[in-house]
Amino acid sequence: MSVMNPNESNRSWRHYSRTPPVQLYISDKDGRGGALIGEQAAGFTLAVNPCEPGSDIDPASLNGAAAAIIEVSADDPASIKRFKTLAKESRTPLIAAVYEPPLAFVRELIRSGAHDVLPLPIDLDEIEASLAPLRDRLAEANVGTRPRGKLMCVIKSSGGAGATSLLTQLAILHAHKTASSGRDTCVIDLDVQFGDVAFQLGLKPKLSLSDLVEAGARLDGALLRATTADHPGGLKVVGAPSDMLPLESLSSDQVLDIVELATREFGTTFVDLPANWTNWSLSLLARADLVLLVTDVSIPALRQTRRQLDLIRSQDLGDIEIRVVANRADASTLRKFRASDIRAALGCDIAYTVADDEPTMRAAIDQGVPISDIKRKSVVGRDIESLEKGLAAALGMER
């Protein structure tokens, strides 16, 4: 539980930012690149990545950037090929930076997909002038567009807490409650090893999260919607990959791109996160509007819940709103714990409790239907109704 990729620092996740950076890939032979570290141009922060003109650049490293300025050597075929490949495989706007570029070479770069060509040595005023049209274009594109939807992440104290079962029932109910306002609800199963959301909803998606990751620069709203499976209750579902993936096979930029797109397409996006932490799951947590931490009420589970909360706080994420849900909490179990003892153990109160009704929940999962279809009035159904109502209020949704 709560392991990080051993090949990465536990601080290598990144905070989500609504103002993406501009990446610079330059050799810095003249020493000007270092002076640009942390500078801003046209409202964008410049992120300097020293590298030689012909060295490899992973197209995925450009994901999430507002633009990329890439040095190109006119007499180095590998350098030219690198730029053309990036222009073909990435949807990030590219700006070429060249020493004394001949006019014919400038035209070749523009035809290859360059947004602009800057002369080297690099100059902050030149960068400002080149990025200004991109800034204005982004501003125009955002005028009149629908506002971003809400993002809620579901994490668990440990495996077996019943978080996915609770999430599926909560999401079905939320989709029903918000349908009248024209807000679609989506669940993305990011548990790439043990994801079970689609199965618990009785769905057999033909496409999955893997298809969105593999789309790369082709990822857009139409593809995202085509990838979702539709539940009869109106819920949209992006299923986990059919084959297990290593957690570290996904990058923060890939995951954030997919989830950010979902928040533009859907009114509410629920994300089921894996039990083990990785850098991209921490990055996603920083982006969430609300986080549900699901646990059961037992001494081992409460201990693991506290460990999860401590980890999140240690990553400078203490300002995100986390609400603890006690799942499968029958009356006899709750009587064993005083509220003050739980508060002392967790450092916070339990926000919601959901009753233990395994027969009703199991029947709903087996049939992929809402609990209300199995038992019209049940304690567990009432608790999930209260949970959904509380979350809608926390997310500022009018009813």
Do 111 and 41 lie in one domain? The reply is yes
Among 28-37, 168-177, 339-348, which stretch is predicted with the lowest mean pLDDT? 28-37
Assess contact for 72 and 25: CB atoms under 8 A: no
Do 65 and 199 lie in one domain? The reply is no
The confidence score (pLDDT) of residue 5 equals: 41
Domains of the chain: total: 2
Do 135 and 162 lie in one domain? The reply is no
Q: Is residue 168's pLDDT more than 90?
A: yes
Q: Is residue 17's pLDDT more than 60?
A: no
Do 386 and 245 lie in one domain? The reply is yes
Any domain includes 16? no
Do 118 and 244 lie in one domain? The reply is no
Among 16-25, 74-83, 322-331, which stretch is predicted with the lowest mean pLDDT? 16-25
The tokens 């567990």 sit on which residue? 380
Do 211 and 137 lie in one domain? The reply is no
Any domain includes 13? no
Domain end position, chosen among 111, 142, 173: 142
What is the amino acid identity at position 177? Answer: K
The confidence score (pLDDT) of residue 319 equals: 77
Say what the pTM is: 0.69
Give the Cα separation of 17 and 2 in Å (integer): 24
| 138 φ/ψ angles, rounded to the nearest 5 degrees | -65, -40
The CATH code of the domain that includes 194 is: 3.40.50.300
Give the Cα separation of 326 and 354 in Å (integer): 6
pLDDT tens, position by position, 173-216: 999 999 888 889 999 999 999 999 999 999 999 999 999 998 87
pLDDT tens, position by position, 304-349: 999 999 998 888 776 789 999 999 987 777 778 888 888 888 988 8
Pure H helices in the chain: 77-89, 103-112, 124-142, 163-178, 197-200, 209-215, 221-227, 252-265, 279-287, 299-314, 331-334, 339-346, 358-367, 371-374, 379-394
Q: Is residue 360's pLDDT more than 90?
A: yes
Which domain covers residue 278, as residue numbers?
Answer: 150-394
Any domain includes 10? no
Do 188 and 79 lie in one domain? The reply is no
Count of H-run helices and E-run strands, the chain: 15, 14
CA-closest candidate to residue 273, choices 160, 194, 201, 202: 194
The residues near 19 (Cβ < 8 Å, ≥ 6 apart) are: 43, 44, 45, 66
Give the Cα separation of 142 and 147 in Å (integer): 9
Do 245 and 165 lie in one domain? The reply is yes
Do 289 and 192 lie in one domain? The reply is yes
Give the Cα separation of 294 and 29 in Å (integer): 53
pLDDT range class, residue 18, cuts 50, 70, 90: very low
Do 155 and 107 lie in one domain? The reply is no
Strands of the 44-50 sheet, one edge to the other: 40-41, 44-50, 22-26, 67-71, 94-99, 114-120
